[in-house]
Amino acid sequence: MDKTVSEKTDLRSLQLSELENLLTRAGYPKFRAGQLYQWLQQKGVTDLSQMSNLPKAMTADLQENYRISGVRMVDRQISKLDGTQKFLFAMDDDALVEAVFMKYHFGNSVCISSQVGCRMGCRFCASTLDGLQRNLLAGEMLGEVSEVGKITGEKISHVVVMGTGEPLDNYENLVAFLRILTDEKGRNLSMRNITVSTCGIVPRIYALAKERLSITLALSLHATTDEKRRKIMPIANEYTIAELMQAVEAYFTETGRRVTFEYSLIAGVNDSPQEADALGVLAKRVGAHVNLIPVNPVKERGFAHPDRRAVEAFQVRLEKHGINVSIRRVLGRDIDGACGQLRHRVLRGNQG
């Protein structure tokens, strides 16, 4: 079933300056790059034959020597409860990824995947069950955003990189994606409306801080001691919480953006009052906002979320530390809500 895709350069993954270099080297005037970029990034048109202001000889040449990564919808679930939509997309090699469209009072948001599968191994997460297949290209991540916008007919104002994959494990492609997404000649999204969520790859947090992208960083903390964190997140064997806190402080110093802590509440694992206090101390120290996510049960994982009262008690206790806390609104409960569940079910032949 595996389709091989050519090694040709993906035009959709290139920033405008790169496209200009590539086309001028191939003998075309520079303005042609601007036209091509506008088709690809602003109009979401990936079929060269539809790019009506480009000369035929040029599109034929591009067709032969380059590629434009495609993203096609293979499944879509629409929640009857809140309008959340979940998409399953196939890439040109048939690799599958999920994206989710959500409506909020502040605008429409797309949650995209950054990798096909994931190798981080978090114990509560469905996305990592089948391991990492490959990284997504910048053009493929842009394609997720673009297709969701086209299919729903809605304007996309917010993007969160919180779907399948560890974005900082696909660093170069992620940064190219963010630059095109926020480029005024590209998709022109506001940096402030973009969130990248990481399990905490410390050196990459420092690198991202230096990119001069003032996006929000969300750190998946999920535990307040290294010992506990190691039990649920293998990445905690590489970096300590103390190192993480230093990295997010550096991120704030460079970008002026405070991080968000994500904390998935798992009954009997990380939901004690003592842990609420310890989380409060950590969040206070770095000025973090905390996002509590009652863990989404994944059949293969056997974790359960605390009941609503316990979640609220945890929130109240945390707020006593002067922390800004939100409980992640559970959207799309009637569709395969948790990260990676739809893809996982399809890969396993719809048994789930």
- Tell me the residue ranges of DSSP E strands in 141-272: 158-161, 194-198, 216-220, 260-265
199 is catalytic: no
Helix (H, G, I), strand (E, B) or coil at 39: helix
Cβ proximity to ligand SAH: between 68 and 162 the closer is 162
Cβ proximity to ligand SAH: between 39 and 124 the closer is 124
Least Cβ distance, residue 341 to ligand SAH (angstroms): 8
Q: Taking CB under 6 A as the rule, does residue 16 contact ligand SAH?
A: no
Q: Taking CB under 6 A as the rule, does residue 224 contact ligand SAH?
A: no
Least Cβ distance, residue 24 to ligand SAH (angstroms): 38
Helix (H, G, I), strand (E, B) or coil at 83: coil
Cα–Cα–Cα angle for 331, 296, 122, rounded to 5 degrees: 125
Cβ contact 99:148 at 8 Å: yes
Q: Taking CB under 6 A as the rule, does residue 236 contact ligand SAH?
A: no
Q: Mark 113-152 with x for binding to ligand SAH (rule: CB under 6 A) and - for no binding.
A: -------x-x-xx---------------------------
Q: Taking CB under 6 A as the rule, does residue 270 contact ligand SAH?
A: no
Q: Which neighbouring-strand residues pair with 216?
A: 195
Residues contacting residue 27 through CB under 8 Å, at least 6 positions apart: none
Return the amino acid letter for 317. R
Cα(225)–Cα(349) distance, rounded to whole angstroms?
A: 39
CA dihedral (271, 277, 282, 284) in degrees, to 10, reads 130
Catalytic annotation, pick one of 20, 98, 147, 275: 98
Least Cβ distance, residue 170 to ligand SAH (angstroms): 10
Cα(144)–Cα(268) distance, rounded to whole angstroms?
A: 37
Q: Mark 173-212 with x for binding to ligand SAH (rule: CB under 6 A) and - for no binding.
A: ------------------------xxx-------------
Which residues would be at the binding site for ligand SAH (CB under 6 A)? 120, 122, 124-125, 162, 166, 197-199, 220, 262, 264, 293, 295-296, 298, 338-339
Supply the residues annotated as catalytic.
Answer: 98, 339
